A = this chain, B = another copy of it.
Amino acid sequence: MSFDRLIENIVKTQNPSVVGLDPKLEYVPMYIREKKYKKYGKTFKAAAKAILEFNKGIIDEIHDICPAIKPQAAYYEMYGFEGVKTLYKTIQYAKEKGMFVITDGKRNDIGATMEAYAAAHLGVTDIDGEKAEAFGADALTVNGYLGTDGIDPLLKQCEAFDKGIFVLAKTSNKSSGELQDRKIDGKAVYAVMGDMCEKWGSSVMGKYGYSAVGAVVGATYPEQLAEMRAALPHTLFLVPGYGAQGGGAEGVAKGFDENGLGAIVNSSRAVMCAYKKEENCDEHDYAKAARREVIRMKEDIISYLPKITLP
């Protein structure tokens, strides 16, 4: 259980970053879109198939240099059940290629309902005795607002199927402070949530010092990253907000430990749309451009870190 597999992938690739696959249709090169529209019309099916081809192209190019992908559920749900089918197929494809898959769903509920989410995204579903994997990610982002009742069902799946969760603590957006920075007995809400992550994680510890319960802490708040790293020694951080949202590599370095571990930094648009930013890049080379951006980002981040090694 826990994030051991993710940590091993990070060490193997010497890359503590994850590519967010948040494929807005406009990010997909037109030649792929046109091909699908010709066959299926401008439908959800066409959009979903275009996105799947786009995702597979990127995964093919980066799986050897990048430890993980993070598909964002919203961008699949917006294309209806056809889009959700592409989410499933993207997850399965990336896993076949050896990548660790974090579904960014920020799911939250209680009791039997949270069990259903846990089965859907991390575990297996029982159909009168037949067991099958609905989505089968390696980890899921979740929202801890409902407390332990919303987390316990996930921990069971983490134990049973060697999976992990990332709980929102301090998110990267501008208004995150409206609630998350408010003080409870002198302690910020995000820090209170962080304490709960340490507590929840204590029963699902991995062999490299990190539990199966991680936390989301935004790259846009480096001071809080440093504070949380010091306060939460067993909690792995998923760090969004690098690049597009303004978080820099020097800042995100504060989320790491002395082995260059303890955090994984997300980049979505900069990778998916690298071909649009590069000069004279043909859209057919979108995946190669993505690979170049993954390498650039990795070099940028690790230049501020000690060599990444298992403890």
Question: A residues bordering B, Cβ < 8 Å?
Answer: 22, 24-25, 33, 37, 41-44, 46-47, 72, 74-75, 77-85, 87-88, 106-114, 116-117, 119-121, 125-130, 132, 134-135, 143-150, 168, 171-180, 182-185, 189, 192-193, 196
Contacts and interface: CB of A to CB of B under 8 A. Distances in A.
A106 B143 contact: yes
A116 B149 contact: no
22 contacts: A24-B116, A42-B129, A44-B125, A44-B127, A72-B109, A72-B116, A75-B113, A77-B120, A77-B134, A77-B135, A79-B125, A80-B88, A110-B173, A111-B173, A145-B171, A147-B175, A147-B177, A148-B175, A149-B173, A149-B174, A179-B193, A189-B189
Contact of A108 (B72, B112, B120, B143): B143
Contacts of A135: 77, 80
Contacts of A74: 107, 109, 113-114, 116-117, 120
Cβ-closest 3 pairs across A and B: A147-B175, A147-B178, A74-B116
A104 to B, nearest CB: 8
Nearest to A187: B182
A146 B181 CA distance: 11
A167 to B, nearest CB: 10
Contacts of A84: 77, 80-81, 84
A178 to B, nearest CB: 4
A127 B25 contact: yes
A243 to B, nearest CB: 14
Contacts of A144: 179
A154 to B, nearest CB: 12
Contacts of A80: 84, 88, 120, 125, 132, 134-135
B171 A110 contact: yes
Given A143-B143, A179-B189, A132 B43 contact: yes
Given A46-B127, A47-B125, A81-B85, 13 more contacts: A22-B113, A44-B132, A74-B109, A75-B116, A77-B117, A78-B134, A79-B134, A80-B84, A144-B179, A146-B176, A149-B174, A178-B196, A189-B189
Nearest to A30: B128
B149 A176 contact: yes
A156 to B, nearest CB: 14
Given A74-B107, A79-B134, A145 B146 contact: no
Contact of A147 (B88, B127, B179): B179
Nearest to A37: B128
